[in-house]
Amino acid sequence: MSFIKIYIHAVWSTKNHTPFLTDKEVRLKLWSHIRENSLSKGIFIDSINGHVDHCHCLISQGGDQSIRKVIQLIKGESSNWLNKSGLLSHHFSWQSEFFSSSVSFSKLDVVRKYMYDQEEHHRNSSFQDEYNEFIRKARFQNVVERFT
């Protein structure tokens, strides 16, 4: 039997950075739904949080899962659920792009804390600034900034 545990920090935005998630209760219900629904699909979300226009997930990826498929399942199902839930008075959707990066075991607590401090973090920094910093730190070369 093989044992595989790879942690991925994934981040994605609402469509056009629209602040659909201004109501904290709606955000908490959405995060809870994403966690429960993902688990039913064999996707383990270690931590989840975000702010008015984006979501952060720390995912423990299984050996038979691709990150693209995992994120596609999470985003597609969650936007469908949110639109059917009646929690918002307008149509909701996620932007198609996302950022993801592996996280070493020694940095898990740092990433968890960063995710849970989103509200505080975004008092001083926009999602665009945060996203650009992820791109810079990950050293992506020749990346077209699609989130502008």
What 3-state DSSP class applies to 23? coil
What is the span of the domain harbouring residue 21?
6-138
Q: Give the number of other CB atoms < 10 A from CB of residue 11.
A: 20
Contact 43, 70 (CB under 8 A): yes
Residue 141, pLDDT > 60, answer no
CATH code where residue 40 lies: 3.30.70.1290
Q: Token pair of 71, please?
A: 């994120």
Q: What pLDDT sits at residue 147?
A: 46
Q: What pLDDT sits at residue 148?
A: 46
Tens-digit pLDDT profile for residues 16-67: 999 999 999 999 999 999 999 999 999 999 999 999 999 999 999 877 889 9
DSSP of 105-126: GGGHHHHHHHHHTHHHHTTT--
The CA dihedral of 106, 109, 113, 115, to the nearest 10 degrees, is 80
Tens-digit pLDDT profile for residues 91-136: 999 999 998 999 999 999 999 999 999 888 888 888 777 777 777 7
Q: What pLDDT sits at residue 3?
A: 80
Count structural domains, the chain.
1
* Position 144 in a domain: no
* Position 109 in a domain: yes
Q: What does the chain come to in residues?
A: 148
Q: How confident is the model at residue 143 (pLDDT cuts 50, 70, 90)?
A: low
Q: What pLDDT sits at residue 40?
A: 93
**For the chain, first and last CA: distance in Å?**
45
Residue 9, pLDDT > 50, answer yes
Q: Give the number of other CB atoms < 10 A from CB of residue 20.
A: 22
Q: What pLDDT sits at residue 142?
A: 55
